[in-house]
Amino acid sequence: YALVERLLTLARLDAGADHYRPAQVDVIDVALSCADLIRPLARAKGLELRLNVPDPITTQTHPNKLREILTNLLHNAVEYNKPNGSIDLSVERVNGHVRLEVPDTGIGIKPEAHGRLFERFFRADPSRHADTPHAGLGLSIVKSYVDLMGGAIKVESSDAGTTFTVELPYVEA
């Protein structure tokens, strides 16, 4: 069911039928709710999920797309982490943008895979996760939403972990 839903999301994006409808959003509330959703998965794997959300941030953005971006990034940080690792979620306002950062202590992503991470069905190391239901669509959806929202996403990775950074336009609410 989840795979079909993700494929339909991508089809709507491709057809231009998934519109960006910004509304006033408390970004910190969205971040907290996403962390609350993912925290039980993190605990079950012995991972610590920490939040760094120092200031209130309210902006005009699409709440459901923002929620999907954060949930996907946090879920990946859980799935590809090392035992007893950690995940941080930072949200801040920087130079006219809302910056969302998700560093983890995971297995890392090989440099040669960085250019393909956001491609549909791409999995950096499919042999390591043959027993999981992942289809390689989450980051493609994240990238499509970030683009639709006028933002940018980047990834930095080593064998000590991976950091995804999303910057979305800050619009006075």
Residue-wise pLDDT tens digits, 30-87: 999 999 999 999 999 999 999 998 889 999 998 989 998 999 999 999 999 999 999 9
Check residue 107 and give left, alpha or beta (phi > 0: left; psi -120 to 50: alpha): alpha
Amino acid (one-letter) located at 106: G
**pLDDT reported for residue 76:** 92
Pick the residue with more confidence: 11 or 28? 28
Residues contacting residue 53 through CB under 8 Å, at least 6 positions apart: 28, 31, 32, 89, 90, 91
Is pTM, for the whole model, over 0.75? Answer: yes
Amino acid (one-letter) located at 97: H
Distance from C-alpha of 93 to C-alpha of 171, rounded to nearest angstrom: 11
Q: Is pLDDT at 5 greater than 70 in this prediction?
A: no
Amino acid (one-letter) located at 141: I
- Residue 104: name the closest of 70, 79, 131, 139 by CA: 79
Pick the residue with more confidence: 130 or 27? 27
* Sign of the dihedral through C-alpha 32, 13, 131, 116: negative
Distance from C-alpha of 110 to C-alpha of 96, rounded to nearest angstrom: 32
